[in-house]
Amino acid sequence: MKKTVWTFGLISGALMAAMMIATLPFIDQIGFDKGEILGYTAIVAGFLLVFFGLRSYRDNVAGGKVGFGRAFTVGLLIATISSVCYTATWEVVYFNFMPDFGSKYAEAVVAKARTDGKTDAELAQLRAKTLQMMESYKNPVYNSALTFLEPFPVGVVIALVSAGVLSRKRSSESVLAPA
């Protein structure tokens, strides 16, 4: 199980990290709204390896049969490794190559609120709240925790669906004798 989990987790994490690195330099041109859609699309694409990892585990390690619990555990471990890779990549990029990300993000949030018709008082409150959040985001532990929570819930859902699709009961348990 370890080899399958690590192999597919690292490949999935590398795919998500590569997409992050490839798209972040263009965030000013893409915009934060479209960047979020693009980012989650890359996360879902990376987590497709949870399905393939589960299928590989079922077919190559478990002899073609795996219960839902074991399949979900394998999928969850793959998603965890992948999310850790994603988080590690973001930490390196954020703290070494994008020191102005927080201020750009705060301005984008305020600009969107302005176009949505918020009052000046609401804009000032939103700006202060966003800048306070970005100040907290400078703490690597806080930053890592929030970043991990971006992809991981998606991975949990994909692991659940994949486990449901790929789990197979033992033939003696699932086949009734003819009457």
For residue range 152-169, list pLDDT tens digits in order.
999 999 999 999 999 876
- Residue 31's region, left for phi above 0, alpha for psi from -120 to 50, else beta, is left
Report pLDDT digits (tens) over 19-52.
999 988 888 888 888 888 998 999 999 999 999 9
Is 106 part of a structural domain of the chain? yes
Is 136 part of a structural domain of the chain? yes
Q: Which domain holds residue 74?
A: 2-169
Is 23 part of a structural domain of the chain? yes
Q: Quote the number of domains for the chain.
A: 1
Is 178 part of a structural domain of the chain? no
Is 176 part of a structural domain of the chain? no
- Residue 132, CA distances (Å) to 47, 73, 136 in order: 32, 37, 6
pTM for this one? 0.84
State the helix-helix crossing angle for 120-136 and 101-115, rounded to 10 degrees: 160
Is 179 part of a structural domain of the chain? no
